[in-house]
Amino acid sequence: MGVLKTFERRKTERRKDSRELYKNLSQEEYSRSRNERIIRYFNVQKGICAYCFNDMTLELNQKNTAEIEHIVPKSHKHITGHFNEVAACSTCNRYKADKPLYEVIHELRSRYKGFQNDNEPE
C-alpha cells in the first residue's frame, strides 16, 4: 500500500473516531462542552488573544469575542483536541480562517500595538 493511501486511510479513521466521540452528545451537551472550553482557554490565556495579544471578551457579537481557534485547520488535518485549540478574538479567527498559521502569523501579530518587526529599522 502506498504512503498516500495509508495517509488517506488514517485520516478517514481519525474523522470517524472524532464523530464517534461526539455522536452520543446531545446538541445541548456539545454546546455546553464548547462553551466550557472557550471559558477555560480564555482564563488560561488571561483574556489575551493568542495571535494579536489584544484583550478579548466573553460577550457575544463583539469584534473581540473569544472563540475557539484551531491552530492546524480542521480542513487540513482534522486534528481535534485541546492541543490544537487556543482562544482567539473573532477578528483573528475570521482572518485566519482555514489558512495555515505560518501564512498569516505576521499579519495577525501586526494588529498588536506593541508589535515591532525585527526586520524594520527603528
Q: Is the pLDDT of residue 26 over 80?
A: no
pLDDT of residue 61: 84
C-alpha cell at 105: 502569523
Tell me which amino acid residue 87 is. Answer: A
pLDDT of residue 87: 93
pLDDT of residue 107: 80
Domains of the chain, earliest start first:
3-109 (1.10.30)
Percentages helix, strand, coil for the chain (3-state, rounded to 5) are 50, 10, 40
pTM over 0.75: no
At 44-94, the pLDDT tens digits run: 999 999 988 899 999 988 888 999 998 888 777 667 677 888 999 999 999
Give the DSSP H or E segment for 102.
helix 101-109
